[in-house]
Amino acid sequence: MRIDLFRPRVSPEAAAAVAAVLESGWLGTGAKVREFEIAFAKQVDATDCVMVNNGTAAIHLALHSADLPAGAEVITSPLTYVATHHAILYAGYRPIFADVQPTTGNLDPASVAARITPQTRALLPIHYAGYPCDLDQLYRLAEEHSLAVIEDCAHATGASYRGAPIGSSPGLCCFSLNPTKNLTAGQGGAITTSRSGFGERLRALRNLGLSADSFTRQARSCGEDTPWRYAIREVGYPYAPSDLNAAIGLVQLPRLVADNQRRAEIASVYRSCLRGRSGIQLLEYADDRESSYCFYPILVERRDDLAGKLRRHGVGVGVHFPPNDLLADQYDQTPNAVDFSRRTLTLPLHVGLTDDDLEIVSGLVAAGW
């Protein structure tokens, strides 16, 4: 028996969509990328979307475009994948940890407020496991202290906060489209924004700072005297996505709502089976927001013992997230995050799980370790 921790379910139409791109004669950033950007922006109720080649690139570009002074402090969560922290370092800024709420894993606004200094220039909250953080309070702090907000929405595709889709906020919202996420393009990332005209700069930045990408230059190659001309406005990065990935994302997007509903059903089964069990703490979610349930973490004592039991029975497990060794000197400021990281264990959650799978996993956990 094997029950995977994650497993992408790719639409049967994906192979045909990829084949069509292969036959089109254009594999790089082209018409399919723009089509995906328009569709994804509509999905999350944003003004614009800029697709890139991965989620880390999305955060890096968003931070770069914020034009913060060198060495600026960016307050973020210690409870995240290292990509969040590294993107801050790529941009020449300094990640500063605030603590998390012990019941959700999301940034605690009170801790964020306490960590703001004259050097703070931005907030970078993470919607942990797909559950939206306290956006109203965080944006209020940002307004009071004139801070930029970049949201790490890697886990939160399809989530909503007080009725508004994650991705529709006034800040820059960064998504991952990798195979473990609710919406996959095989690989990729996206930045959504409600700022008019902001996408133009991001598109240049993802293309090494060039004013016109290869697809645009190819399209005009027979109609202008010098179609190869472009302006280089600033240093950019090789973060351009492929039409191949965009084609996969486009056929996956119509399934997002139904897939997230199935994820919510799976989470509900886990809650029903594990609530009140000795040694298990479930995360607490408010009614005014809807999680995407990207993954399902529980908090347990003797975490490694339970993980070992599940693995021996063929059940995949994970830890979201271990500490980032490169920033070890900051964890003494975040006791909740340290405790969370020590006890958290992620159970299988993907739309391919059967009811029998859920019964097996829940039964093994509930039986103790």
Element (H, E) at 39: helix 31-43
Give the catalytic positions in this structure.
Answer: 181
- Tokens 């009725």, residue? 163
256-366 has the same fold as 14-255: no
CA distance 42 to 114: 36
Answer yes or no: are the C-beta atoms of 104 and 284 closer than 8 Å.
yes
* Pair type for strands 120-124 and 148-152: parallel
293 near 264, Cβ under 8 Å?
A: yes
DSSP 348: P
pLDDT at residue number 174? 99
Within 179-238, residue ranges assigned H as helices are: 198-205, 214-219
> How many residues comprise the chain?
369
Please tell me the CATH code under which domain 256-366 is placed: 3.90.1150.10
Distances (CA, A) of 118 to 72, 115, 146: 9, 10, 11
Tell me the residue type at 277: R
Distance between CA atoms of 149 and 350, rounded to whole angstroms?
30
Burial of 235 (0-12, 13-18, 19+ CB in 10 A): exposed
Using alpha carbons, list the distances in angstroms from residue 350 to 105, 157, 188, 353. Answer: 20, 14, 19, 6
DSSP string, 48-69: EEEEESSHHHHHHHHHHHTTPP
Q: pLDDT tens for the chain, 369 residues: list them.
A: 899 999 999 989 999 999 999 999 988 999 999 999 999 999 999 999 999 999 999 999 999 999 999 999 999 999 999 999 999 999 999 999 999 999 999 999 999 999 999 999 999 999 999 999 999 999 999 999 999 999 999 999 999 999 999 999 999 999 999 999 999 999 999 999 998 888 999 999 999 999 766 555 455 455 556 666 778 989 999 999 999 999 999 999 999 999 999 999 999 999 999 999 999 999 999 999 999 999 999 999 999 999 999 999 999 999 999 999 999 999 999 999 999 999 999 999 999 999 999 999 999 999 999
Q: Is the dihedral of CA 105, 111, 112, 116 positive or negative?
A: negative
What's the CA gap between 18 and 31, in Å, rounded?
13
Alpha-helical runs (H) found in 151-255: 198-205, 214-219, 243-252
Give domain limits for the chain.
14-255, 256-366
The answer to whether the Cα torsion of 296, 300, 303, 309 is positive or negative is negative
Q: Which residues, listed in sequence order, are joined to residue 233 by a DSSP beta bridge?
A: none
Fold for 14-255, please state it: Aspartate Aminotransferase; domain 2 (3.40.640)
Instruction: State how beta strands 172-176 and 148-152 pair.
Output: parallel
| Separation between Cα atoms, residue 5 and residue 357, nearest integer Å | 11
List beta partners, residue 289. 161
Per-residue pLDDT at 11: 87
- Furthest-apart CA pair in the chain: how many Å? 75
- CB 177, CB 169: distance < 8 Å: no
> What's the confidence (pLDDT) of residue 212?
66
Cα 86 to its chain centre, rounded Å, is: 14
User: Which residues does 176 contact at the CB level (< 8 Å), separation at least 6?
Assistant: 54, 55, 58, 154, 188, 189
User: Before 321, cis peptide (omega within 30)?
Assistant: yes
Please name the helix (run of DSSP H) or strand (run of DSSP E) that holds residue 16, with its range, or none: helix 14-24
